[in-house]
Amino acid sequence: MNTTTLTLGRPGLMSRRTPWDWAFALLIVLGAGYAFSRYGGAMDEYEKGILLGSVPTLIALGWFWAPLRVLSVGVGAATLLAIGLYLRQTDGFGADLAAAEQVFLLKYFLSSQSAILWMSVLFFMSTVFYWIGFFSKNGSEDATALKLGSRITWAAVFMALTGTMVRWFESHQIGPDIGHIPVSNLYEVFVMFCWMTAVFYLYYEQQYRVRSLGGFVMLIVSAAVGFLLWYTVVREAHAIQPLVPALQSWWMKVHVPANFIGYGTFALAAMVAFAYLIKQNAAETRWWKLAPLWLLGVVLCFEPIVFRQSAQSTSVGYWAVYFGISALIVGALLSVRGRIAARLPAFEVLDDVMYKSIAVGFAFFTIATVLGAFWAAEAWGGYWSWDPKETWALIVWLNYAAWLHMRLMKGLRGAPSAWWALTGLVVTTFAFLGVNMFLTGLHSYGTL
């Protein structure tokens, strides 16, 4: 007997909105209106277009995933509080940035550097709590430590976004030609990588009701935080610098974030692949069969890959310790792979998260590559110049295009898919960092 499902009575998109949804939308519109009236005179037509486009985008994201509403409002309130504290010290011609060392809330919480340091501490803490919860006697997805790990990750994302927004404000207070969106150097994009990877993980955590992957994903985020702290201390990278001429373009505001959605989701997929392979090799007793997994795991944790020979002796010692800790962590995980495998989600869930992460990352990385070509045409007079960064971006794109093709057309699944996703991050990491370290070209803005 044939049956037909009637959908005529299904509520439309707008009719399903709650009063809280509309209140959030109104708040976003009012906030954008205030920003336009307050700072519109300093914006060009492209920046005004981005501001207007961000309104429906942020509303749609908040309606699609409710936690983003709380995050958006919280970050907005904290940023406005920080700006207010700065302006309270003003002489009538702008904020006094010295207030960052004089006002309690700014000094310890809300200045950009303080907020980003809090982000770093909280990401480390979330990693620890995720693993405590993973190995707890309870062993369920509702273990208290796992919940704490998730909530601390949200707090870290909150501090990262607050620090980013306040840094944006601070840059404009240094000088009229210095202010810029904080996505212009390695320090700033590493902050973006950390919170963006964490946000995508938190989304999948809620969608699949799985917290047991948190420890794996936070390992790559913590590795990035370790790099960020070294880069801050040794290179003083947190100092806000004027943009070089090639970066003084509105293309930067859309190209770089799209790129790092790709980097973040590729990293997420690699860590899920790492978990997949640990689960698959739970009963493996031959050490040489596990050696490739151990080596690739170390590479994933060892985010900067290798230091320059010309690095300072203190840097060499730091990276030696960093590499040693990474190797111990990966070795420890492999040594208890049986217990880990028993508490990981099903292979189907791991495979699905891996696929969706790469699919999202590939879409945004494609957009970023196209936008980068337009930016190159504006800055250097040509869409493509086979610069090392462009070449390696193409290699990354081809790698994940092939992965998706093999999955969709040939049914790629299981261990081959996981190994490919894991090794793909090695290629991506070299495109992200290795090019800056070993090669020179038009994109050499963030040297190590």
Alpha carbon distance 195, 304 (integer Å): 18
pTM over 0.85: yes
pLDDT score of 286 = 66
Residue 269 CB coordination number (10 Å): 32
Contact 220, 127 (CB under 8 A): no
Residues 6+ apart with CB under 8 A from 152: 122, 125, 126, 129
* Contacting residues for 425 by C-beta, under 8 A, at least 6 apart: 266, 267, 269, 270, 300
The structure tokens listed for 84 are 């207010």
- The residues, ordered by sequence, that sit 6+ positions from 391 with a Cβ below 8 Å of its Cβ are none
Angle between helices 388-410 and 347-380 (to 10 degrees): 150
List the domain boundaries for the chain. Answer: 20-64, 255-448
Spatial separation of the C-alpha atoms in residues 17 and 20, rounded to whole Å: 8
What is the dihedral sign for C-alpha 13, 16, 19, 21? negative
Taking the CA atoms of 395, 360, 116 and 172 in sequence, report the sign of the dihedral they define: positive
Q: Which long-range contacts (CB under 8 A, 24 or more apart) does 101-105 make?
A: 105/81
> From CA 304, how far away is CA 194, in angstroms rounded?
14
Per-residue pLDDT of the chain (448 residues; tens, 9 = 90+): 454 444 445 566 676 788 899 999 999 999 899 888 877 777 777 778 888 888 999 999 999 999 999 999 999 999 999 998 988 766 555 677 888 888 899 999 999 999 999 999 999 999 999 999 998 877 677 788 999 999 999 999 999 999 999 999 898 888 767 888 898 888 999 999 999 999 999 999 999 999 999 999 999 999 899 889 888 887 778 888 888 877 778 788 889 999 999 999 999 999 999 999 999 988 766 666 666 766 666 665 554 444 444 444 455 666 667 777 777 888 888 888 888 999 999 999 999 999 999 999 999 999 999 999 888 888 778 888 888 888 999 999 999 999 999 999 998 899 999 999 999 998 998 888 777 766 665 555 555 5
What is the pLDDT, as a whole number, of residue 447?
54
Pull the structure tokens for residue 357: 């992460």
CA distances (Å), 116 to each of 76, 111, 122, 209, 285, in order? 16, 9, 10, 28, 43
